[in-house]
Amino acid sequence: MSSGPSGRGTGSPIARLVEAFHRLPGIGPKSAQRLAYHVLRAPAEEARSLADALLEVKERVTLCGSCQNLTERDPCALCEDAGRDRSLLCVVEEPLDVVAIERTGGFRGLFHVLHGVISPADGIGPEELKIEELLRRLRERDEGVGEVIVATNPNLEGEATAMYLARLLRPLGLRVTRLARGLPAGADLEYADDLTLGRALEFRQEV
């Protein structure tokens, strides 16, 4: 029912491409047009590799059945790595948080990705996250986890999620810890909020 030489609406390939770019986050109508015309002028090879990459990411990347991280094979490389410490499990909000923690080089345990954080006012409750998968993993598969490190963000939603997880996990006989909270490098005491400064004092360390 679409198509036709008019060039208007969703029928025209250019309009469809502009529309598709416009749906991406952070892309307004002008940027969408610019991107579409860039593709139009680029060599066919470039357009094809972009199309292939788009399809491939949707077809090949799935969630790891164990840690729920994005992966091309299930179980993922991290979960399969025999060199990881299986007694430590770090729970994070998003796949990018795994990357961030891996970058520190200070953690050799396993991960679990929640794919979000409890945010009741936005309609995101525990059921919307990969919490059931986490419980199943800890209860049923005997991976030998002894400590769960809850590495959600140090904000209201992250705290709510951490406390909720702690409630669920403690009855399983696990040690549940939370990332320390305090002053970021380069911070200024004068501008720190009370809660942060309070925690920084509470969890002070000997120098």
Partner 1 sequence: MPGRAPRVIRTEAVVLRHRRLGEADRIVTLLTPGHGKRDAVAKGALRPRSRLAGPLEPLSLVELVLARGRTLDIITQAESRQSFPQLHAGLERLAAALYLLELTDRLTVEQQEPDAVFELLLEALGRLERGDGLHLVSRTFELALLEAAGFRPEWERCVACARSLAADEAAWSALAGGVLCRPCAAGHPEAGPLDGRALRVLRAYQQSPYEEAARIRLDPDLAARLEQVMHALARATAERDLGSARFVAAARTAGGLPAAEAAPGEAP
- Which residues, numbered 27-56, are part of the site for partner 1 (CB under 8 A)? none
Instruction: Write the single-letter amino acid at 38.
Output: H
- Among residues 59, 140, 142, 194, the one that binds partner 1 under rule CB under 8 A: 194
CB of 192 to partner 1, least distance (A): 7
- Based on the shown chain and the rule CB under 8 A, indicate whether residue 186 belongs to the binding site for partner 1: yes
> In the chain, which ranges are continuous DSSP H helix?
13-22, 29-41, 44-60, 77-80, 95-104, 131-139, 156-169, 194-202
- Based on the shown chain and the rule CB under 8 A, indicate whether residue 191 belongs to the binding site for partner 1: yes
Q: Which residues contact 192 (CB under 8 A, 6 or more apart)?
A: 183, 200
CB 87 within 8 A of CB 109: yes
- Among residues 4, 9, 13, 120, the one that binds partner 1 under rule CB under 8 A: 120
Contact stretch for partner 1 (CB under 8 A) within 51-59, 94-102, 104-112, 181-189:
181-189
Residue among 90, 91, 133 at smallest CA distance from 109: 90
Report the interface residues with partner 1, using CB under 8 A. Answer: 26, 118-126, 155-156, 159-160, 163-164, 166-171, 184, 186-188, 191-196, 198
